[in-house]
């Protein structure tokens, strides 16, 4: 290879590792980079094996995520002396100067150039280091993808069909890290799903930074519901799961389509953020709490077995006790299944970081604990409704290390632990749900 690589003894090809922080989109992109590297003759490192090439795919959605990204970079450098170090992802896009302060990095690569990582990684290094490859992501108009289906090593692979966001919520750095909304052409989506089925997969998870904006940038313009109709008509795979969809983009037509088509998992994830109309306006969220209530009620009417996950952002500047209670009571009253509770943290570069009436950390922590307790109770109530019922699960490829049991996921996102032989890994199986423990672990038996 030349350059910086010092190939480990006994290995004919460079060994690489990829450390991924953050969202499903980042995970998909790490899988794509890994696939490109393997196609170029590289091998992925085995457990705790030292690597020649280390890639850290970072996150910067919060200040804590940025800190964790820096920690991950330093840890990888310490654990792999002599390796070529590449830092990419959202933190690399927004804060390259901060990354440059860390000794031992060779390349910093922004989102617009992620697909160049294998070429940069395998080229002869000239220095000086670190080199910076980064574009103005807001001027990016094309959806970039590798020219083949990304498989990864998951039982339920992700398929990124959209990138970027045009909403510019006042607390969010993502549009500055990911750029404007861009979509994979519809026919390419269908072909990717078809290829996944041919490779033996039973489920695909459609993901994006702003999934509900899918297709609005394409010519001719289309939309997420139109895509799902085409998927329904072509029936390319056993199950299709949707990742997060904004409340105002979770239309009645989309809900009705999921209800009538068995191919779509009965699982919705909705980023509400706040249940207070004034806070929603300050966040620049384009919907009122009444719309969220309508959509949750609609889902429950048409799909009473559906799992409904909700994101909440607690402690936004100006969130009074009354505003928090508006969020809490809205969630409490509705058939929500589980919660992802995020504490607000002031993110440099966003309007909300400059807003008055910042909430103290003690108050935010107490409100988050109350909301998480509600989420735990709702999840348990939902799981217990299925005790004694027979369901279909997709068995994952790994056993639980402590129990030795297999785990499978239902269409409505219940993780069920079962005993079984290895030959049922990565297959669909019928089970009976027997019990739900106090920690919300669900156990069942094959039948």
Same domain? 273 vs 184: yes
Considering the domain boundaries, does residue 96 fall inside one? yes
All residues at 6 or more sequence positions from 99 whose CB lies less than 8 Å from its CB, including other chains: 70, 73, 87, 91, 92, 105, 108, 130
In this structure, the answer to whether residues 199 and 233 fall within a common structural domain is yes
Q: Is residue 242 part of a domain?
A: yes
pLDDT: which is higher, 367 or 402 = 367
| pLDDT bucket at 146, cuts 50 / 70 / 90 | confident
Q: What pLDDT score does 1 carry?
A: 36
pLDDT attached to residue 2: 38
Q: Domain end: 339, 354, 384, which one?
A: 384
- Residues 420 and 439 occupy one common structural domain: yes
Please state which of the ranges 83-87, 117-121, 269-273, 309-313 shows the lowest mean pLDDT.
117-121
> Whole-model pTM above 0.85?
yes
What are the tens digits of pLDDT across the range 154-201? Answer: 999 999 999 999 999 999 999 999 999 999 999 999 999 999 999 999
Residue 379 and residue 259 share a domain: yes
User: Is residue 422 in some structural domain?
Assistant: yes
- Residue 9 is predicted with a pLDDT of 43
Q: Is residue 209 part of a domain?
A: yes
- The verdict on residue 174 lying in a domain is yes
Q: Look over the chain and give the mean of its residue pLDDT values, rounded to a whole number.
A: 94
Same domain for 46 and 167, yes or no, is no
Q: Of 384, 403, 431, which residue is a domain's last?
A: 384
Which residue, of 350, 384, 418, is where some domain finishes?
A: 384
The reply to whether 115 and 167 lie within a common domain is no
Q: Residue 145's pLDDT band (boundaries 50, 70, 90)?
A: confident
> What is the residue range of 67's domain?
15-135
Determine the Cα–Cα distance for residues 423 and 171; give it in Å rounded to an integer.
Answer: 47
Same domain, 356 and 415: no
Residues 325 and 355 in one domain: yes
Average pLDDT for 405-418: 98
pLDDT tens digits, 350-366: 999 999 999 999 999 99
Q: Residue 220 above 60 pLDDT?
A: yes
- pLDDT over 80 (residue 149): yes
CATH number of 71's domain: 3.40.50.12160
Same domain, 128 and 249: no
Question: How many Å apart are CA 5 and CA 123, to the nearest integer?
Answer: 10
Contacts (Cβ under 8 Å, ≥6 apart) of 310: 269, 270, 271, 272, 331, 336, 338, 339, 340
Residue 48 has what pLDDT? Answer: 76
Angle, CA of 333, 335 and 341, to the nearest 5°: 80
- Kindly report, residue by residue over 30-78, the tens digit of the pLDDT: 999 999 999 999 999 987 788 999 999 999 999 899 999 999 999 999 9
pLDDT tens figures, 71-109: 999 999 999 999 999 999 999 999 999 999 999 999 999
Mean per-residue pLDDT, 247-276:
98
Please tell me the total count of domains within the chain: 3
Q: Mean per-residue pLDDT for 407-420?
A: 98
Q: Are residues 270 and 402 in the same domain?
A: no
């Amino acid at each position: 290879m030349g350059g910086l690589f010092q190939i480990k003894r006994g290995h004919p090809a460079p060994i690489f590792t990829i450390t991924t922080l953050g969202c499903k989109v980042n995970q998909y992109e790490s899988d794509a980079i890994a696939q490109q590297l393997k196609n170029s003759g590289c091998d992925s490192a085995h457990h705790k094996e030292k690597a020649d090439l280390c890639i850290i795919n970072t996150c910067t959605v919060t200040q804590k995520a940025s800190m964790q990204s820096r920690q991950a970079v330093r840890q990888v450098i310490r654990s792999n002396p002599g390796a070529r170090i590449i830092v990419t992802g959202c933190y690399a896009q927004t804060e390259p100067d901060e990354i440059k302060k860390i000794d031992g990095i060779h390349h910093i690569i922004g989102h617009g150039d992620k697909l160049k990582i294998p070429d940069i990684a395998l080229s002869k290094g000239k220095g000086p280091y670190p080199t910076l490859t980064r574009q103005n992501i807001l001027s990016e108009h094309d959806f970039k993808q590798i020219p083949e289906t990304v498989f990864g090593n998951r039982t339920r692979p992700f398929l990124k069909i959209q990138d970027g966001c045009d909403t510019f919520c006042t607390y969010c750095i993502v549009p500055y890290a990911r750029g404007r909304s861009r979509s994979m052409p519809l026919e390419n989506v269908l072909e990717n799903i078809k290829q996944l089925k041919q490779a033996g997969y039973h489920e695909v998870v459609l993901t994006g930074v702003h999934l509900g904006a899918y297709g609005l940038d394409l010519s001719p313009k289309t939309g997420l519901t139109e895509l799902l109709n085409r998927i329904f008509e072509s029936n390319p795979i056993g199950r299709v799961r949707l990742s997060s969809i904004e409340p105002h983009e979770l239309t009645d037509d989309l809900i009705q389509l999921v209800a009538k088509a068995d191919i779509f998992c009965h699982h919705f994830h909705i980023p509400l953020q706040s249940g207070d109309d004034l806070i929603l306006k300050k966040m620049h969220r384009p919907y009122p709490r009444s719309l969220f209530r309508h959509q949750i009620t609609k889902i429950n009417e048409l799909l009473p077995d559906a799992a409904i996950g909700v994101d909440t952002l607690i402690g936004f500047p100006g969130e009074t006790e009354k505003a928090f209670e508006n969020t809490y009571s809205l969630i409490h009253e509705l058939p929500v299944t589980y919660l992802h509770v995020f504490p607000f943290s002031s993110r440099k570069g966003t309007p909300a970081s400059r807003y008055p009436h910042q909430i103290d950390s003690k108050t935010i922590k107490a409100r988050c604990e109350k909301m998480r307790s509600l989420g735990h109770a709702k999840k348990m109530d939902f799981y217990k409704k299925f005790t004694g019922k027979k369901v279909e699960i997709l068995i994952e490829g790994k056993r639980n290390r402590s129990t030795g049991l297999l785990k499978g996921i239902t269409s409505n996102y219940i993780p069920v632990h079962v005993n079984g032989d290895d030959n049922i890994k990565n297959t669909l199986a019928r089970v009976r749900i027997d019990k739900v423990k106090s920690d919300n672990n669900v156990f069942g038996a094959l039948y």
